[in-house]
């Protein structure tokens, strides 16, 4: 099955500070840990961009809990909710409720779902993995659009402004390419723009079809008040 591809350009402005990285030197970094491979973490820091930090230089990491997938030597893929990194081990809560510690030296690579970047653009029209789109602890707006869509261009500046001005919101724009692509079938999209608003737990609060600014704002308010 065709999967969605991530656009090469990711807006770095206004990146959410989702994680706290405590270095062995005593310094702390506020940023978003976006990946791990070969005993090295990839970290995005607002105003600085992407950086790499060796696991040996990190004492611990306080993660915003989010889905993660690990490739563990001798065991294969392990998935669960990532909560922390300390003393060379990741703490992961699995779907059965059990907590497991994975030693970093045994993890060949890891992908952390729900990237904390304020804005990500997905393209290709393929199936969308919501675990990699929604950011736990944030309000996530998913804008299904296409370049040829006039109403999409009308609502886009409003969504961009919300994303820029509201630190509790992250925006994901999904280019469907055309009606009938896998992603439109996945979400039963018959016309665009289609805008989904998810609360901090990842629950869909509401969806808006068309360039309805007021409807978007209403669902956004409801998402903030959801518990």
Question: Which residues constitute the domain of residue 104?
Answer: 17-112
28 & 45 share domain: yes
Helix axes 150-165, 213-225, angle to 10 degrees: 40
> Of residues 141, 142, 152, 169, which has the active-site annotation?
152
CB atoms within 10 A of CB 165: 9
Are 129 and 213 members of one domain? Answer: yes
With residue 196 as reference, give the H or E element that holds it.
strand 194-198
pTM for this prediction: 0.58
Let me know if residue 7 belongs to a domain: no
Residue 8, pLDDT > 50, answer no
Chain Cα centroid distance, residue 119: 9
Is 179 found in the same domain as 82? no
pLDDT in tens, 156-212: 999 999 988 888 898 999 999 999 999 999 999 999 999 999 998 889 999 999 999
Q: What angle do CA 112, 116, 121 make, to 5 degrees?
A: 95
Cα–Cα dist 207/189, whole Å: 11
CB 126 within 8 A of CB 185: no
pLDDT classification of 6: cutoffs 50, 70, 90: very low
- 90 in the same domain as 47: yes
Does 128 share its domain with 216?
A: yes
CATH number at 28 reads 2.30.30
Please indicate, yes or no, whether residues 107 and 130 belong to a single structural domain of this protein. no
Query: Residue 5 has what DSSP assignment?
Result: E
Check which CATH number belongs to the domain holding 214 and give it.
3.40.30.10
For residue 138, is pLDDT > 90?
no
How do beta strands 5-6 and 194-198 pair? unpaired
- Pair 35, 107 in one domain: yes
Closest CA to 43 of 109, 117, 93, 105: 117
Same domain (yes/no): 84, 127: no
> Is there a domain that residue 142 lies in?
yes
State the Cα–Cα distance between residues 181 and 185, nearest whole angstrom: 7
Question: Does the annotation count 152 as an active-site position?
Answer: yes
Last residue of a domain, one of 59, 90, 112: 112
Q: Point out the least confidently predicted range of 3-7, 137-141, 157-161, 216-220.
A: 3-7
Q: What is the pLDDT of residues 11-39, one digit of tens each?
A: 333 334 468 999 999 999 988 887 788 89
Q: Residues 99, 48: one domain?
A: yes
Answer yes or no: do 105 and 125 share one domain: no
Looking at 82, 102, 130, 149, which residue is catalytic? 149
Asked if pLDDT for residue 9 goes beyond 50, the answer is no
Highest mean pLDDT pick, 107-111, 113-117, 168-172, 210-214:
210-214
- Residue 4 covered by a domain: no
Is the pLDDT assigned to residue 46 strictly greater than 70? no
Domain boundary among 112, 132, 156: 112
**Distance from C-alpha of 116 to C-alpha of 31, rounded to nearest angstrom:** 9
Q: Say which range, 106-115, 117-126, 146-155, has the weakest mean pLDDT.
A: 106-115
Q: Could you tell me if 31 and 74 lie in one domain?
A: yes
Q: Which of 66, 93, 112 is the last residue of a domain?
A: 112
Whether 8 is covered by a domain: the verdict is no
DSSP class of residue 181? Answer: S
Question: 86: pLDDT confidence band, cut at 50, 70 and 90?
Answer: very high
DSSP assignment, residue 179?
T
10 located within any domain: no
Q: Is 26 helix (H, G, I), strand (E, B) or coil?
A: coil
Contacts of 163 (CB under 8 A, 6+ apart): 14, 118, 119, 141, 169, 170, 171
Residue 11 belongs to some domain of the structure: no
* Residue 1 is assigned to a structural domain of this protein: no
Domain identity same for 129 and 221 = yes
Residues found in the chain: 227
Number of domains within the chain: 2
Structural domain contains residue 127: yes
Q: How far apart are CA 35 and CA 108, in angstroms?
A: 11
Distance CA(42)–CA(35), nearest Å, equals 5
What pLDDT, on the 0 to 100 scale, is given for residue 11? 36
């Amino acid at each position: 099955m065709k999967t969605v591809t991530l656009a090469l350009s990711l807006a770095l402005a206004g990146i959410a500070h989702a994680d706290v990285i405590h270095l062995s030197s005593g310094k702390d970094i506020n940023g978003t840990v976006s990946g791990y491979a070969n005993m090295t973490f990839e970290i995005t820091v607002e105003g600085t961009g992407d950086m790499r930090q060796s696991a040996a230089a990190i004492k611990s990491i306080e993660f915003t809990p989010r889905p993660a997938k690990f490739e563990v030597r001798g065991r294969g893929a392990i998935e669960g909710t990532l909560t922390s990194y300390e003393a060379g081990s990741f703490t992961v809560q699995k779907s059965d409720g059990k907590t497991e510690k994975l030693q970093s030296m045994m993890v060949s690579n890891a992908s952390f779902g729900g990237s904390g970047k304020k804005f990500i653009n997905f393209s290709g029209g393929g199936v969308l993995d919501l675990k990699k789109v929604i950011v736990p602890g944030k309000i996530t707006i998913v804008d299904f659009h296409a370049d040829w869509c006039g109403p999409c261009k009308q609502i886009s500046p409003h969504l961009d402004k919300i994303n820029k001005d509201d630190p509790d919101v992250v925006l994901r724009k999904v280019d469907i390419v055309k009606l009938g692509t896998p992603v439109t079938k996945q979400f039963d999209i018959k016309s665009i723009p289609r805008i989904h608003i998810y609360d901090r737990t990842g629950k869909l609060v509401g969806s808006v079809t068309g360039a309805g600014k007021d409807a978007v704002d209403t669902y956004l308010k409801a998402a903030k008040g959801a518990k």
